[in-house]
Structure 1
Amino acid sequence: MTLALRFDNSYARLPGDFFTRLDPTPVKAPRLLALNAGLAAELGMTDIPDAGTLAAIFSGNTPPEGAAPLAQVYAGHQFGGFSPRLGDGRAILLGEVVDRDGQRRDLQLKGSGPTPYSRMGDGRAWMGPVLREYVVSEAMHRLGIPTTRALAAVATGEEIARETLLPGAVLTRVAASHIRVGTFQYFFARRDVDALQALADYAMARHYPEAEGPEEFLEAVIARQARLVAQWMSVGFIHGVMNTDNTTISGETIDYGPCAFMDAYHPATVYSSIDRQGRYAFQNQPGIIAWNLAQFASCLVPLMPDQDAAVARFTEMIHAVPDRVHAEWLRLFRAKLGLASAREEDERLIVDLLTLMAENQADFTNTFRALGNDVARDQFTDRDAFDRWAARWQARVAGEPDPQALMDATNPAFIPRNHRVEQMIAAAVAGDMAPFERLMQVLARPFDDQPEAEDLARLPLLDEVVQATFCGT
């Protein structure tokens, strides 16, 4: 028995220099770790095969009927340095499925073996990053933030070499597409205007059919990315590796490598072990998305009839990106304070609270969740300072229609805290998937009070603090 999926592989019909066709590399002993039943139903998987069959399919050993496996090529700026040829070094796009709502969605295997773009890598992933991405991407979805999704995780029965030998795994990732800023950069760097035009036409038809040309296309991508980054910041999320090859045209969060949700709030927080200069620190994300979008805008200039006028117009649009992120940020943080209306003084109120939180090492998630309750002040060592701020806030929130309901719907009670994710990974490596399953169950309802799961909202103890996260390649 195999999967009955409606494949329609439009990317595979693009010119051959957009990708390399190849099958995933078979693994030794695939074993299903997790299947996202809800997402499977969305994709039209009505008859679910047994676990062994699913493991064979989602490991890449037996790709489903209708798949057209390929590795996509792209370029990218990585920590500011340009690499003209990156591509899927450890991923295979199985194809595109038209889901039950008629939406086109990519199915990709991550950790499926070497490709021509592996750059001396082994093309594999170990279990830790696979389960981290599974948990965090699904948590982001439940928080209402655009993201790739996790359909399945499979253990390979093989060990892979990192600092030590670690158990291998493959993630099945679902996305609106895997087209990146770096995809455009690949052809722009080669001055291949025909390929750029073909890619732009394809991306607009797939994601922005209302766009009538490159300028409207750029505007649409800017709007989605500005809102996305503001949404990240509203939940204390740090992507960790905001390279242009990790910036999607669809506006989805992609590539959960050294990502993390903050515990104690500080705007300069960095978790990524490879971000030694803090380029992608929490507070830098609005500026970085503007920088990334500037690279995208450059790729569209050759498609414009008047390139000098395009440079001037696109520059104006890019310079406005930080303000657009800020406008989205302000709207979201007003809601986090229970403010449905807008007043000029609101920004000062928000900034003053965040400043107090940084000075007092207050937990980002728990502080906002507790606003309106007496326990919020418990997050602060200087409680008198918080009380003075709270008096200002209470005066401002008076007269708002239902501030508590707005805050409860905006401020999650549960996030995938770093120490709980690391504990889950350690348990899974030891053969115990119960912590993974519990995390998934609780994070499926992040805005609900779940008294039985209060331990998952607790701050890490000193010996549980995660200082750095890793990409896992």
Structure 2
Amino acid sequence: MATLSLIQNDATSTEFHFGFDNSYARLPAGFFARVLPARPAAPNMVRLNAALAAEIGLDSAELATDEGAALLSGGRIPQGADPIALAYAGHQFGHFVPQLGDGRAILLGEVFDREGRRRDIQLKGSGRTPFSRGGDGLAALGPVLREYLVSEAMAALGIPTTRSLAAVTTGGQVVRERFLPGAVLTRVAASHIRVGTFQFHAARGDLDAVRTLCDHAIARHYPEAAEDQVPARAFLAAVVAAQARLVARWMLVGFVHGVMNTDNMSIAGETIDYGPCAFLDTYDSGAVFSSIDEFGRYAYANQPGIAQWNLTRLAECLLPLFDEEQEAPVSMAKEILAGFAAQYEAAFVEGLRSKLGLQESHEGDRALGADLLERMAANRADFTATFRRLILAADGEDRPAAALFDDPAAFTDWAARWRERLGREATSSEARRHMMRLANPALIARNAHVEAAIEAAVESSDFAPFHRLCDALARPFDEPGLETAVYAEPPAPGGPAYRTFCGT
């Protein structure tokens, strides 16, 4: 493996290989600010994602050392890195803020993974930047562990997402409502270009910057769009399609992002920025978990509509690149945006059929699935457990799923009609069970377990629950064993309403 020296202050040299090729840092200066991360007092590795390290061509054995912990917390800068904080704007809960930017994150650089894909390596919680807006730029341990857990759980579910390479404690404290242990998350992403990145330049009337950013994003994420007669149009269509698929997959596992501001929507089609996120326990289409979402703007059922609203903001930025004629750009954009609903619905219904064990497309399938969801809502049935137990119900074992309903007959009445529908297909029972196991996870990052793992780490420096939960969530579709069964059980009914908080 080739060697790269680390450079910063009087740090001793250690050999790591990153092979940075920093394309974003080669854009004009107005796209970012160059800044060095704060050096942590006493960095200590909490968890290193060895599999992800191998995927992006890094040596996990070297990263697992003390010097690796320093590297992945900002204490040392690898040679070839070009640390920058990205500029972006955004609509936050519908209100436009013309300048946000990376206030507590620093992009070290870009690498090519083993499949030749360009990936960002970013430190989150690594100190002040010019975009910190009076904040300290640091991260508390709790939000770092939450993002590590949930982003890796999403990756294991097969949902496009940013990834977590490492969680490192800094040896210092941060001040929030109280003193809390500090930490840094090393995040890996296809890129950190957001809808808000385009808004930043469009709000300033800098059409050249919008064009430069669009060309960069096309080359990096959607190269086929460059062949279109109007590349910006093809780019918008590609982002719309990617987001429609992504949000459908969120909905199919009961994921609630919690803060779908335009600055938290990646144009790469990845889930990004795990702040006040959560998963449904009891099915509730209006579920809101974020403490700051007072009016339910980002409720579970609102996510497809909000995604389309955010994409409309992207279209507004791109309109000047479409055509010089006054009306044509608007017509083009409206046509592309109108396609979001159909693409989302197609992806959602396809996924719902798989969850129900249906391979063929029959009229009434969508209504059959919707009826189950309505019955789940009325009977306070657990979302994940109900769908997982359909695997048994397909073979006539109704009791495990029915037990989740306040009125078990609400399930058994539906199940009789569902099995009649299953009987119209030639799929074997074995093939159906296999399909349903891959569509219906047994394990998700249940809110109570995530909170318990965070509390043990923050309050008692006990990271064992965090590691056990990480390990369990890495195999969400396996049938739970003795050690992991506890993570599959729905919470006891009647507990307090769950709330999550932004990690800033």
Q: Structure 2 length normalisation: TM-score? A: 0.92
The equivalent residue for 2:183 is 169
The answer to whether the 8 Å contact 2:70/2:76 transfers is: yes
Q: Does the C-alpha gap of structure 1 residues 323 and 70 become closer, same or farther in structure 2, counting only changes over 3 Å? A: same
The equivalent residue for 2:330 is 311
The equivalent residue for 1:17 is 30
The CA distance in 1 between the partners of 2:383 and 2:295, in whole Å, is: 23
Deviation at 1:103, TM superposition (A): 1.1
The equivalent residue for 2:472 is 442
279, 282, 292: which is aligned to 1:264? Answer: 282
SS of the equivalent of 1:320 reads: helix
Percent identical across equivalent pairs? 56
1:126 aligns with 2:140: yes
Deviation at 1:460, TM superposition (A): 2.4
The CA distance in 2 between the partners of 1:51 and 1:94, in whole Å, is: 19
1:299 aligns with 2:286: no
The CA distance in 1 between the partners of 2:454 and 2:238, in whole Å, is: 38
Question: How big is each residue's C-alpha offset from its partner over 1:215-239, in whole Å with a ceiling of 9 and x where there is no partner?
Answer: 1111100010000000000000000
445, 449, 463: which is aligned to 1:433? Answer: 463
The CA distance in 2 between the partners of 1:33 and 1:464, in whole Å, is: 31
Alpha-carbon RMSD: 1.2
Written as runs of structure 1 = structure 2, the 5 A alignment for 1:213-362 is 213-305=231-323, 306-362=325-381
1:369 aligns with 2:388: yes
The answer to whether the 8 Å contact 1:337/1:403 transfers is: no
Any unmatched runs of 5+ in structure 2? 1-13
1:101 aligns with 2:115: yes
Written as runs of structure 1 = structure 2, the 5 A alignment for 1:343-422 is 343-373=362-392, 374=397, 375-398=400-423, 399-401=425-427, 402-422=431-451
SS of the equivalent of 2:335 reads: helix
The equivalent residue for 2:4 is none
Q: Does the C-alpha gap of structure 1 residues 466 and 149 become closer, same or farther in structure 2, counting only changes over 3 Å? A: farther
The CA distance in 2 between the partners of 1:311 and 1:189, in whole Å, is: 18
1:36 maps to amino acid = N
Deviation at 1:269, TM superposition (A): 0.2
Q: Does the C-alpha gap of structure 1 residues 289 and 457 become closer, same or farther in structure 2, counting only changes over 3 Å? A: same
The CA distance in 2 between the partners of 1:404 and 1:237, in whole Å, is: 23
Any unmatched runs of 5+ in structure 1? none
The CA distance in 2 between the partners of 1:408 and 1:304, in whole Å, is: 44
Deviation at 1:159, TM superposition (A): 1.0
Written as runs of structure 1 = structure 2, the 5 A alignment for 1:82-231 is 82-211=96-225, 212=228, 213-231=231-249
SS of the equivalent of 2:223 reads: coil
The equivalent residue for 2:501 is 470
The CA distance in 2 between the partners of 1:336 and 1:214, in whole Å, is: 36
Deviation at 1:462, TM superposition (A): 6.0
The equivalent residue for 1:5 is 18
Question: How big is each residue's C-alpha offset from its partner over 1:77-135, in whole Å with a ceiling of 9 and x where there is no partner?
Answer: 00000000000000000000111221110000000001111111110110001000001
The CA distance in 2 between the partners of 1:464 and 1:255, in whole Å, is: 28
The CA distance in 2 between the partners of 1:125 and 1:464, in whole Å, is: 29
The CA distance in 2 between the partners of 1:118 and 1:435, in whole Å, is: 32
Question: How big is each residue's C-alpha offset from its partner over 1:166-193, in whole Å with a ceiling of 9 and x where there is no partner?
Answer: 1110000000000000000001101101
2:125 maps to amino acid = G
1:129 maps to amino acid = P
Question: How big is each residue's C-alpha offset from its partner over 1:392-444, in whole Å with a ceiling of 9 and x where there is no partner?
Answer: 00000112413222111100000010010010011112121111111111111
User: How many residue pairs get matched?
Assistant: 473
1:423 maps to amino acid = A
Deviation at 1:150, TM superposition (A): 0.1
The equivalent residue for 2:10 is none
